[in-house]
Chains A and B, each alone.
Chain A
Amino acid sequence: MQADVGLTRMVHEVSELDLGERTSYDAGRLTVGEDTVRDLLQDGAFAEVRLGVASPGDSVRIVGVLDAIQPCSKGPGGGGAFPGLLGPAMPVGRGETHVLRGAAVLAAGYLPRAQEAVIDMSGPAAPLSPLAATHNLVVEWTPAEDASWEDVDQALRRGLVKVAAHLAEAALDAEPDAVEELADPATSAANGKPRVGVILNLQTQGTFKDVFVYGRSLSGGLPTVISPTELDDGAVVSGQFGHPSLKNPTYLHQTHPVVAALRERSDELELAALVLCPEPVDQANKELVSAHAARLCKQLKLDAAIATKEGGGNADADVSLKMDRLEEEGIAAVGILAEMAGRDGTGPPLVVPPTKATALVSTGNYDERMTLPVVERALGRPSIALLDDQASTDEVVLPVAAVYCAQSTLGWGRLTCAEVLA
């Protein structure tokens, strides 16, 4: 048994992606074996599955983006990655994991309750989405006539993780571009640095608005503590398709930016814990979960915690209540929130602000409009329902709210707000 157990991440950079006869990875070039991938996606819920490619700088708009996943494998057949969906539902986060950095597998198309999310691979909206900087395999589909939307949703989720593991498997024997040692806080020795936790609120609003931990929803439960390295292995998979700009897709859980930023500053701070919390829909349970999460942080002897959310205005409360309870427990609280200040930016920025805590980071104003130029081709959906079915390739005016992950409070982006007199 190793004394200091953690995860070793073997990073394979992807700089080119194309479709071909068989899946292979060689010196940054990822070829996707079309027939194999189509087989992996095969499901009674689909009449047809189509594969497309979108790379950074392409004149492509992807409309109706659902989930996005970073290719990741721990061995043949996934080797236990994406536990509960692909691998067995048993704790992960140790051993070796191969990832294809710079690549992603996306699903794009219609599902009910899925608010239309847009990614532009070039132009002014490209810097607003992390998936505009990756080489993307885009999965489109036609549902089978007798399939329910719930069946389609599940088939997509199962299919995407299979494809993500399959693609990473092509690099299992390749020399990695980088080898990263990621510590597991549970086995790290105390070092006297301030202990900082990450509070990850996961949306729990039922089908099409749920997030899966080891394949299960946290709905109805209490907060739980896992190792950040379990995120790296795909223990958290998103099935949440509301609020495009506020979305936290599987890709951002796997590459959790706050976890990464704390690892970057490990000379000054210790990444001490990751607390997963459901986001109940009623106030009493929001209060219970928040108070419970703060108690857990106290037990973990944290000095500070950073809280994030998923979803719209009501989820502000899940961050604000936790910040207030943390401060009451003597734990410094920092929240990352998106602003909903209206089209001209003059409205109150938060729906539910904290009352005792004040330290907030902004991921920008949700309601501000932007103009996206004409593009050569579109994937996902041919028209944008939000704009009365305007063609997806047209010049369109959309709120930042529609741009996929533009304001994700997991904090990958540089968007924020500045004040000017209106």
Chain B
Amino acid sequence: MKIVHYVNQFFAGMGGEDSAGTGPELRDGATGPGRKLASLLGDEHEIIATAVCGDDYAASHPEFAAELVARAKERGAEMIVAGPSFTSGRYGMACARIAAAASEADLPALASMHPDNPGIGEAAGTTVVESGLTARQMKDSLERFAAAALKIASGEELTARDGRIGPVARTNRFAADNAAQRAVALVLTRLGGDRDATEIPLPDFDSVTPAAPIADAGEALFALVTEGGFVPFGNPDRLESARATKWVRHSLDGLDSADEGAFMSVHGGFSTVWANADPNRILPLDVAREMEREGAIGRLHGEYLGTTGNGTTVADARRFGMEWAADLRQQGIQAAILTAT
């Protein structure tokens, strides 16, 4: 089978974070971990090309995946594999998006990542096999990846026994009793000594290590970002007031203040009367400009990024966060002030 293998800029040997903005490209043959993978796949299969994209670019341009898959198909790819991406979030998201785009294009596909990789949330509709935590487990991870790829290439379904992982979906059902009756039954179970009974397993949230403090705020480029439903007056992008599925960006160039009638909040979680009377209360552009003039901050970025944080799913919020971080980093921004409501 002719296979195209996806890796990020780091595993393609192009560099680390400094090259994370690199756009998508297709290279001949196997690269980096693809060489070992090719040998594990044996003579019946060939890695004809390596698809590469920088992590920031992939996070902020979701369309990169369909583009690379289309180019791989033109090149004759019969299967696409991506990773292993371990616990690297942007890389994992990119691998999941590539595999999902390949599945969408009716190509057999497989991504490899650790179950804690946040990218797993983007992998619905495709197949993921478990990798180790870090690149130190590259050898074991590649062996499992190759075995899973061989199984898929032969047209078989991958199972949990092969290391298949993936999002578990919680779907609505009717129980026999109402929730109040079930709660009372759970009280009796709990008083009977069973401490584990529950209908909702407690979620594991990933913890994020804060970035190092900036050395000199007076030299740094700052961005304003918000989840306060902050939009240009009239809400031209129709940003949702609740359960947002998207985010918006708008220019702040030439503006000294977020004035009434120029901006507004569409947030559905609080009364927007005071926000609309003075939109600086949501996005503190007036104070940020003052600080810029005083030299307390180096310079203010020329646009803001915003969404509505009201009943937003964690998966969407995580995606927005990764896209924002990648976008801001590509613009050279060193600090972001996120106003939360």
Residues on A facing B (Cβ under 8 Å): 112-113, 115, 127, 194, 196, 205-208, 242-243, 257-258, 260-262, 264-265, 268-269, 303-304, 306, 312-313, 332, 334, 336-337, 339-351, 353-354, 358-368, 388, 399-401, 409-422
What are the residues of chain A within 8 A of B238 when measuring CB–CB?
A: 388
- B311 and A243: CB pair below 8 A? yes
Given contacts A304-B190, A365-B172, A411-B183, contact A257 B178 (CB under 8 A): yes
B209 interface residue per 8 A CB criterion:
no
B314 interface residue per 8 A CB criterion:
yes
- A419 and B168: CB pair below 8 A? yes
* Partner pick for B180 among A206, A336, A422, CB 8 A cutoff: A336
Min CB distance A39 to B, Å, is: 32
Find the B residue at minimum CB distance from A351. Answer: B314
Q: How far is the CA of A11 from the CA of B333 in the complex (A)?
A: 67
- B181 and A264: CB pair below 8 A? yes
Top 6 A-B pairs, shortest CB-CB distance: A411-B180, A346-B167, A411-B179, A348-B203, A257-B180, A345-B169
Q: How far is the CA of A417 from the CA of B166 in the complex (A)?
A: 18
- Chosen A-B contacts, 11 in total, with CB atoms closer than 8 Å, are A194-B187, A194-B191, A269-B188, A304-B187, A304-B191, A336-B179, A342-B314, A347-B121, A361-B186, A414-B174, A416-B174
Within 8 A of A (CB), among B147-168: 166-168
Q: How far is the CA of A88 from the CA of B181 in the complex (A)?
A: 34
Within 8 A of A (CB), among B294-319: 310-311, 313-316
What are the residues of chain B within 8 A of A208 when measuring CB–CB?
A: 271
Given contacts A312-B311, A334-B190, contact A261 B169 (CB under 8 A): no
Min CB distance B192 to A, Å, is: 10
- A343 and B190: CB pair below 8 A? no
Residues on B facing A (Cβ under 8 Å): 121, 124-125, 166-184, 186-191, 195-200, 202-205, 238, 241-243, 268-271, 310-311, 313-316
* Partner pick for B174 among A127, A258, A268, A340, CB 8 A cutoff: A127
- A366 and B168: CB pair below 8 A? no
* Partner pick for A348 among B179, B183, B311, B314, CB 8 A cutoff: B314
Known: A334-B187, A414-B176. 11 other contacts (CB 8 A): A113-B271, A115-B268, A261-B183, A332-B190, A336-B180, A341-B313, A344-B169, A347-B314, A347-B315, A361-B183, A421-B166
Count A/B pairs, Cβ under 8 Å: 205
Find the B residue at minimum CB distance from A112. Answer: B271
What are the residues of chain B within 8 A of A242 when measuring CB–CB?
A: 268-269
What are the residues of chain A within 8 A of B200 when measuring CB–CB?
A: 337, 339, 349-350, 360-362, 417
Given contacts A362-B199, A418-B171, contact A413 B271 (CB under 8 A): no
Min CB distance A66 to B, Å, is: 15
Find the B residue at minimum CB distance from A263. Answer: B184
Find the A residue at minimum CB distance from B188. Answer: A268
Min CB distance B273 to A, Å, is: 8
- A422 and B269: CB pair below 8 A? no
- B199 and A346: CB pair below 8 A? no
Find the B residue at minimum CB distance from A327. Answer: B195
- A312 and B171: CB pair below 8 A? no
What are the residues of chain B within 8 A of A349 when measuring CB–CB?
A: 170, 200, 203
Min CB distance B42 to A, Å, is: 29
- B184 and A269: CB pair below 8 A? yes
Q: How far is the CA of A417 from the CA of B190 in the complex (A)?
A: 20
* Partner pick for B124 among A207, A313, A344, A414, CB 8 A cutoff: A344
Q: How far is the CA of A345 from the CA of B121 in the complex (A)?
A: 10
- A348 and B181: CB pair below 8 A? no
Min CB distance B156 to A, Å, is: 16
* Partner pick for A358 among B168, B174, B196, B313, CB 8 A cutoff: B196
Given contacts A339-B200, A416-B179, contact A366 B311 (CB under 8 A): yes
Find the A residue at minimum CB distance from B270. Answer: A205
Q: How far is the CA of A181 from the CA of B179 in the complex (A)?
A: 24
- A416 and B190: CB pair below 8 A? no
- B168 and A420: CB pair below 8 A? yes
What are the residues of chain A within 8 A of B124 when measuring CB–CB?
A: 344, 346, 422
Q: How far is the CA of A127 from the CA of B187 in the complex (A)?
A: 26
What are the residues of chain B within 8 A of A196 when measuring CB–CB?
A: 184, 187
